[in-house]
Chains A and B, each alone.
Chain A
Amino acid sequence: MALAFILSPLLVIGAGALLLMLAEAFGPKHNRTAGLALGCTIVFGAGFAFSVGAWLYGVEDVAEKELIVPWLVIDRFSIFFDGLLCLGGAIAALLAGGYLREHEMERGEFYSLLLFSTVGAMMVASAGDALIVFLGLETMSLGAYALTAFRRTSPRSAEGALKYFLLGSFAAALLLYGFALLYGATGHTDLAGIGEAVRAGGPHKTMIIVALVLVLTGLVFKVSAVPFHMWAPDAYEGAPTPATTYMAAVVKAGAFAMLLRVMLTCFTEKGLMSWSAGWPPVLAWIAVLTMTVANLVAGQQESVKRMLAYSSIAHAGYLLVGVVAAARSMPEATSSVLFYLLTYTVSTAGAFGALILCGRKGAEAVTYEDLAGIGRRHPAAALAFSLFLVSLAGIPPTAGFFGKWFVFRAAMDSGFYLLTIIAFVNSVIGAYYYLRVLVFMYMREPAAGAPVATPMKSGYVAAALILSAVLVLILGIVPSQSLDVAIKAASIFGPPGG
């Protein structure tokens, strides 16, 4: 029974997905999708509630969880991600409820796909075996590919989905070959077993290093870090905006859960963790590249949606700084990464939501020009948008500030001064293109003859924005409680080399 309870977030979302799929097929012919957005949000809400319940119940003393070890590892880390992923999913579902109706592409599959994909992400977060990592990853990605291609008449949607699919599958194949080599070298597919065998050393040093390169490449692909980011802007721009929200929030969080879990469990051998011959310096270079390239390119975008896509890549860079620090001082820095993910999820989901709010049917807000003058005519929409952008830029008193603060402090504490300075400079550069949106909203008038964008009216979108705005402010003003949760979640990783 206790086992069912600590597994409940996963089970609730899975069962909810199946039920929603049937409800969509058997529901009334007319107005079939009416309640689906609400149903989907409720399922996500239930998933979140059960995660909180499981967190409060505690997972350390449940003896029955040995039954599912090593396939699924239910610990504070996985429950934290269960809650985070459900939260991101709920916001995406609410946004979809408004967006899909407004743009007349409401088909019920969207909501089932959201739920199934989230099941995959949750599997990844609680995976204790390479097989489950792969299954979860594919479940998550297949859902995301389908969501990207959801706008069936749009060539951009199909094209973005195609690039996403091809590069995503390629990355999965690299990751898998790495796992296969690890299996050959160690005889284990469970992550803990691999980690132990790698630490014990053995005759297969070369094979393990080749496997490390392959696994790391696959993972870096999935978190969309430079130089393996090419798919991300295209997929993000082509996808319908709620699907973009979902990818930027949930899929990215799932990918980082995978990165942390795999790297900090499998490759913790002293040599592999060292600064001279291990993976942390490689990841540090990738982090620097990711932040710099993404920020520079984001500044040149004319489309706000594409700018937000590059911004999400840049944030992957800041997160990687935290991961690099985690390789040196594990639980402390890992907790900062988890907290950053939390703040990033609510901020980015809110920003995409505000972009949705500013568009109407036939006049989706895409470019900076589309947003001109909206500050004076529709102050509420502009205010919401500003709040999320300020949070993404990392300016207090919003969530983004503390997210960056903790990650940078963790990097400083681990002795990565240069890396922290680069990250800080980058976040200053980043502020430029976020604030540029504010300039357009408040200080520019639309070109002569062009109409001012009118926000859509939808209870769903409003609810999503209010939810994210409240969370952004709570995390930005009183972060200590959520930080405690993140610290507890990260405590499952022991000190490095141990």
Chain B
Amino acid sequence: MIPVEHYVALSAILFTIGGVGFLVRRNVIVALMSIEVMLNAVNVALVAFNRLPTHNNAHTGQVFAFFIIAVAAASVAVGLAIVLSLFRIRRTVRSDEADLLKN
């Protein structure tokens, strides 16, 4: 049995990688992927917590993870559509080149 703490540590590391990736990288596609990494970190945490003996085995965490996967797919569909439409107009996927809107 691998203790739950290890999974939670893994998920925290994944979440940090995703968060730092999102904040540091300027490529929109990479930013999208970073968000996916963060969501997967959440999934790992939920599924791991689900195995805690105190959580009386109700599968809440697992079902939650299902919903996150489904919603993530939908949001990526919308996100990629937005990136495509920006790319069609501006020919760039770099977020620092999207700079028309400023005060």
Assembly CA distance A138 to B69 (angstroms): 12
Q: Are B39 and A145 in contact, with the CB atoms below 8 A? A: no
Q: Are A155 and B82 in contact, with the CB atoms below 8 A? A: no
Q: Are B52 and A187 in contact, with the CB atoms below 8 A? A: yes
Given contacts A135-B71, A153-B89, A166-B35, contact A159 B101 (CB under 8 A): yes
Report the interface size class on chain A: 35 or more
Q: Is residue A345 within 8 Å, beta carbon to beta carbon, of the partner chain? A: no
Given contacts A153-B89, A159-B98, A162-B83, contact A177 B42 (CB under 8 A): yes
Q: What is the size, in residues, of chain B's interface with A at 8 Å between Cβ atoms?
A: 46
Q: Are B85 and A180 in contact, with the CB atoms below 8 A? A: no
Given contacts A158-B85, A162-B98, contact A131 B52 (CB under 8 A): no
**Could you say which residues of chain B place their CB within 8 Å of the CB of A156?**
100-101
Assembly CA distance A180 to B100 (angstroms): 37
Assembly CA distance A181 to B22 (angstroms): 21
Given contacts A159-B86, A169-B75, A187-B55, contact A177 B38 (CB under 8 A): yes
Q: Are B52 and A138 in contact, with the CB atoms below 8 A? A: no
Given contacts A155-B100, A183-B46, A184-B8, contact A162 B95 (CB under 8 A): yes
Assembly CA distance A111 to B42 (angstroms): 33
CB distance from B93 to the nearest CB of A (A): 10
Q: Does more than half of chain B's interface fall in helix, strand or loop, or is it mixed?
A: helix
Q: List 27 A-B contacts (CB under 8 A).
A: A134-B68, A135-B67, A135-B71, A149-B82, A152-B85, A155-B90, A156-B101, A162-B82, A163-B95, A163-B98, A166-B35, A169-B75, A170-B22, A170-B35, A173-B19, A173-B38, A173-B42, A176-B68, A177-B15, A180-B42, A180-B49, A180-B61, A183-B60, A184-B52, A187-B52, A297-B103, A306-B103
Q: Which A residues contact B (CB, under 8 angstroms)?
A: 130-131, 134-135, 138, 141-142, 145-146, 149, 152-156, 158-163, 165-166, 169-170, 173, 176-177, 180-181, 183-184, 187, 189, 233-234, 237-238, 297, 300-301, 306
